[in-house]
Amino acid sequence: MTPYGLLVQRFDRHYLLRSSADVLEWDAQAMMPDGGGDLRAAQLGTLRVLAHEAIATPDMAERLAAAEAAPPEDGWERANLAAMRRAWVHTAAVPSDLVEAHARAASACELAWRAARRGDDFASLLPHLEHVVKLTRQVGEAKGAMMGLSVYDALADEHEPGAREALLTPLFARLERELPPLVDSIVAAQARTSRAPELVGPFPVARQAALGRRVAERMGFDFTRGRLDVSAHPFCGGAAEDVRMTTRYDERDFLPSILGVIHETGHALYEMGLPRAWVRQPVGRAAGMGLHESQSLLMEMQAARSPEFLGYLAGVAAEELGVELSRETLVRNALGVERSLIRVDADEATYPLHVIVRFTLERALLSGDLPVGELPGAFRDAMERVVGIRPPNDRDGCLQDVHWPSGAFGYFPSYTIGAIAAAQLFAIALEKHPMIPSELTRGELGTLREFAREHVHQHGSRFDTNAILERATGRGLDVDALLAHLRRRYLGA
Amino acid sequence: MTPYGLLVQRFDRHYLLRSSADVLEWDAQAMMPDGGGDLRAAQLGTLRVLAHEAIATPDMAERLAAAEAAPPEDGWERANLAAMRRAWVHTAAVPSDLVEAHARAASACELAWRAARRGDDFASLLPHLEHVVKLTRQVGEAKGAMMGLSVYDALADEHEPGAREALLTPLFARLERELPPLVDSIVAAQARTSRAPELVGPFPVARQAALGRRVAERMGFDFTRGRLDVSAHPFCGGAAEDVRMTTRYDERDFLPSILGVIHETGHALYEMGLPRAWVRQPVGRAAGMGLHESQSLLMEMQAARSPEFLGYLAGVAAEELGVELSRETLVRNALGVERSLIRVDADEATYPLHVIVRFTLERALLSGDLPVGELPGAFRDAMERVVGIRPPNDRDGCLQDVHWPSGAFGYFPSYTIGAIAAAQLFAIALEKHPMIPSELTRGELGTLREFAREHVHQHGSRFDTNAILERATGRGLDVDALLAHLRRRYLGA
């Protein structure tokens, strides 16, 4: 066997163990009864350690060097070898007992978080979260030492290759400066019109589920290779061959759920569009979580919230839900802008501000500048300062997100990297394919989906996010397109 | 670490990997889209190999001997050590090239069996089945040599610790002698009454699901530690902490589904009642497949098909399904007896005869007395002689069961061990707790469940099946109670 062939075998085993854990993770969110939590935490701990060990044997440095000394001829194989090195650098730096401790702490903390959020009881979460922050810091230090990066950059790099505080800070600073006055203008403009007509429910869950399934299918979600279920915090998990996406339903309002399904379908289409021959190898994975988010936002924010698509949606929603609905009603309900408390419910104009709050605080938590016990107050202050609204409690404050309790630090910027990239990709797709808006009026996403498949999905991790954007649009990450999109959509400017 | 402590660690890892695979197996049956099949097969292969390796290291013989040389003081720990040796002999002590050859042959044979059954074509199965019988015999010889047992006893012991040909033969001989005239009397008695009134559907799946959930809950199934879902072949899987049971629905008839749910709930209650401190170690598992079956049959055959419980069931089924239903209707539909071809559809009076046919033939196959090529004729002859009905073809004859093609020999007796033990346990429970029948009229299973928990569940594998029965009833396996139960239920005698 060639040195490269040996690595392929190890990464295949890594993938099988990791994807097994991903199914158990999905199950924990969508299916598992509460009583299974302890066992599941132990199962996930074991599987993640074994996945880690599959590519963290003591001889890996030597094996990688041997393969790199005689690199494969094929471009995909060479790119795979590079992706292997990055995956290895990210995992080999971390001792397996730390990986296991981190996974166990995060599982327990996530469970505690569910109860803490229900009871608006940060105190009960505090010891768990302190433990998770401490172990996450240790993980970041271990990785950072190996890559010559700060703790934060080392953690962020895992979610988005090449994401750096230094790259993000100016982009986010410009948004922090330019969005608030833009939001003011939008809010003022929307205040001058009458209130959005109310959507009159109840909308039975079974009918909403049928609507979600119909729209996802129309968008190209392949139900022979995936499922749509319910979980408290919607996500898209599973594997490229077997995508598990979730949503949640509110009988009083169907719009968040259907737009959520469209969002997750955007993620799912990325997974389903990854290069089939490579899905079990590092080069066959999505390039990063930010680019992943760009695919969900391309579908949800750019395409589905366009007046054209909302016209189609009003028609099928009226049919499935058995109510009367006009395009105008959906447009007014789907495009309201206001300063609000909950990130996941925020509109696209204020959303980046929520991310900036978290980007600021998570760096302070990791550096130790912000003791975990002071998070609730710091969160309220930052919300007031950046978003312009103060949470009255912790449930709607620092307890609203699962990310930190589950051990994910450096992840939040991905959402805004995604929003920025989605705006860039949609702008160039429209330029190249002027028929897209008329297709959207019929709910057709074929041209846009094929554009995304050709310029994003099929590359897997062959290039990094910035390079993929450069190849697709001629520019790396740049907030111009996002700001122009917001001005055009909300101010007609 | 003590030699025993090291073993505990290895078996804990074995359990976490095995139970992870069990969740993925449940998911494959109940949730997974078809497209996930290839990935899932690879995931399960990897997890099962790793689980095997956790307790199949070359030093295990030595490690076990070391622990046995200084056995733990605690009774549970000592019993755990004995259970470890047994688990090791059955899963890891056979030479791995033989295990692998056997697994490969069984996989190929099972695949061939599906086609052979569809086409009623035993000839196409023959070479595969010959190969499986040969390798299974070698496995039995290898295990037998280690345990001082015959080939058949060594194979049967894997499914039921302590099950021996010498123990089963007289029990089964008596059933073979006494059941046929008893079945004649029952069939004659039932022929004298009018046909059972038809259950008039359709019975919508959602309502049947609500009924199943309600009855399972009433029986004591803890939905915070388990789920009830749908699969093509109902089973009870998952783990003691997180039991996953399934059923299937037929809109034309709700009875098979609700009785199936009750059956699986019996299995589930056993799992949920296992000693919490030991569930991840061999001594914390169910004692054997026969004893497991006794718990499902205790609930389904002994308790739920009693006239008392059927009265309760008629009431709640009428409520949930929105139909009129009398106890008498359910009694007549749930208790029909007839000689039929298919084991899985057989009633409790004729079922043991189906098992005896297989017990007889599988020993003859393993000893070589019955050449595999002569199985079809021998199966028909045995069915005619023992069950009293001759299969017109092989599809409904020797091709109906997956057990032999999949390499499971010595498993069939478990079904009848379960029926015998269930009758013994129910008889003694009634003797000790005369209020049980009146509780059953209200669907209350608390007293019976606590009896089973105290005398069966909480022991785990601390004692073998026969010893558990002796402690609970004062006698080992004994067919008196089963025969008395059948005479009383069906002949009022």
pLDDT tens column, B305-325: 999 999 999 999 999 999 999
User: A301-310, B84-93, B466-475: which range is least confident on average?
Assistant: B84-93
Same domain, A64 and A181: no
Same domain, A278 and A402: yes
B238 - beta bridge partners?
B243
In this prediction, residue A372 carries a pLDDT of: 98
Q: Which of A77, A264, A348, A439 is catalytic?
A: A264
What percent of chain A lies above the pLDDT cut of 70? 100
- Average pLDDT of the residues in B375-403: 97
Higher pLDDT: B99 or B134? It is B134
CB contact under 8 A, B19 and A39: yes
Q: Is A242 on the interface with B (CB under 8 A)?
A: yes
B270 - beta bridge partners?
none
Same domain, A169 and A231: yes
Q: Is B42 on the interface with A (CB under 8 A)?
A: yes
In this prediction, residue B240 carries a pLDDT of: 94
In this prediction, residue A97 carries a pLDDT of: 87
Alpha helix locations (H) across B298-412?
307-321, 327-334, 351-367, 375-382
Q: Is A32 on the interface with B (CB under 8 A)?
A: yes
User: Does the structure show a pLDDT above 90 at B94?
Assistant: no
Question: Which one of A130, A159, A188 terminates a domain?
Answer: A159
Q: For the CA atoms of chain B, what is the radius of gyration?
A: 23
| Mean pLDDT, chain A, integer | 95
In this prediction, residue A38 carries a pLDDT of: 94
- Average pLDDT of the residues in B301-305: 98
Same domain, A68 and A166: no
CATH of the domain at A320: 1.10.1370.30
CA distance A36 to chain B (A): 5
Structural domain boundaries, residue A405 = 162-493
Q: How confident is the model at residue A198 (pLDDT cuts 50, 70, 90)?
A: confident
Q: Which residues of A touch B16 (CB under 8 A)?
A: 42-43, 46
CB contact under 8 A, A16 and B46: yes
Q: Is residue B188 part of a domain?
A: yes
Q: How confident is the model at residue B95 (pLDDT cuts 50, 70, 90)?
A: confident
Q: Is B242 on the interface with A (CB under 8 A)?
A: yes
Question: Which one of A136, A159, A182 terminates a domain?
Answer: A159
Nearest CA in chain B to A30: B31
In this prediction, residue A283 carries a pLDDT of: 97
Q: Is residue B120 part of a domain?
A: no
CB contact under 8 A, B20 and A43: yes
State the total domains in chain A: 2
Q: Which residues of B touch A19 (CB under 8 A)?
A: 39, 43
Q: Is residue B144 part of a domain?
A: no
Q: Which residues of A touch B20 (CB under 8 A)?
A: 20, 24, 43, 46-47
A227 - beta bridge partners?
A244
CB contact under 8 A, B43 and A19: yes
Same domain, B297 and B440: yes
Q: How confident is the model at residue B293 (pLDDT cuts 50, 70, 90)?
A: very high
Same domain, B478 and B402: yes
ipTM of the complex: 0.91
User: What is B236-255 written as a DSSP string?
Assistant: EEEETTEEEEEE--BTTBSH
In this prediction, residue B99 carries a pLDDT of: 87
| Mean pLDDT, chain B, integer | 96
Q: Is B53 on the interface with A (CB under 8 A)?
A: no
Alpha-carbon torsion angle A427, A431, A435, A436, nearest 10: -20
For the segment B21-64, what is each residue's pLDDT rounded down to a tens digit?
A: 999 999 999 999 999 999 999 999 999 889 999 999 899 999 99
Same domain, B327 and B421: yes
Residue with tokens 């029986």: B219
In this prediction, residue B194 carries a pLDDT of: 79
Same domain, B255 and B355: yes
Q: How confident is the model at residue B91 (pLDDT cuts 50, 70, 90)?
A: confident
pTM confidence score: 0.90
What percent of chain A lies above the pLDDT cut of 90? 88
Q: Is residue B234 part of a domain?
A: yes
Q: Is residue B382 part of a domain?
A: yes
Nearest CA in chain B to A226: B33
Q: Which residues contact B320 (CB under 8 A, 6 or more apart)?
A: B207, B208, B210, B211, B214
Residue B264 annotated among the catalytic residues of the structure: yes
Q: Is residue B142 part of a domain?
A: no
The amino acid at B177: R
Q: Which residues of A touch B238 (CB under 8 A)?
A: 36
Structure token pair of residue A35: 């009583």
Higher pLDDT: B201 or A329? It is A329
Exposed e or buried b for every residue in B57-83, given b needs 16+ CB within 10 A? eeebeebbeebeeeebeeebbbbbbbb
Same domain, A203 and A134: no
In this prediction, residue A94 carries a pLDDT of: 83
A276 in Cβ contact with B35 (< 8 Å): no
Same domain, A222 and A83: no
- Average pLDDT of the residues in A311-323: 96
Same domain, B177 and B279: yes
Q: Is residue B480 part of a domain?
A: yes
Q: Which residues of A touch B241 (CB under 8 A)?
A: 35-36, 38-39
For the segment A71-121, what is each residue's pLDDT rounded down to a tens digit?
A: 999 999 999 999 998 899 887 778 878 988 998 999 899 999 999 999 999
Question: Which one of A141, A159, A177 terminates a domain?
Answer: A159
For the segment B356-382, what is each residue's pLDDT rounded down to a tens digit?
A: 999 999 999 999 999 999 999 999 999
In this prediction, residue B96 carries a pLDDT of: 82
Residue with tokens 């846009």: A448
Nearest CA in chain A to B227: A33
The total number of residues written for chain B in this structure? 493
In this prediction, residue B215 carries a pLDDT of: 97
CB contact under 8 A, A40 and B242: yes
Instruction: Tell me how far apart the alpha carbons of residues B50 and A239 are, in angstroms, rounded to a whole number.
Output: 21
List all residues of chain B from 408 to 427 with a beta carbon under 8 Å from chain A. Answer: none
In this prediction, residue B113 carries a pLDDT of: 96
Q: Is B13 on the interface with A (CB under 8 A)?
A: yes
Instruction: Tell me how far apart the alpha carbons of residues A77 and A75 are, in angstroms, rounded to a whole number.
Output: 5
Q: Is A34 on the interface with B (CB under 8 A)?
A: yes
Q: Is B395 on the interface with A (CB under 8 A)?
A: no
Same domain, A149 and A291: no
Q: How confident is the model at residue A249 (pLDDT cuts 50, 70, 90)?
A: very high
Q: Which of B25, B158, B264, B439 is catalytic?
A: B264
CB contact under 8 A, A225 and B47: no
B168 in Cβ contact with B415 (< 8 Å): no
Q: Is residue B105 part of a domain?
A: no
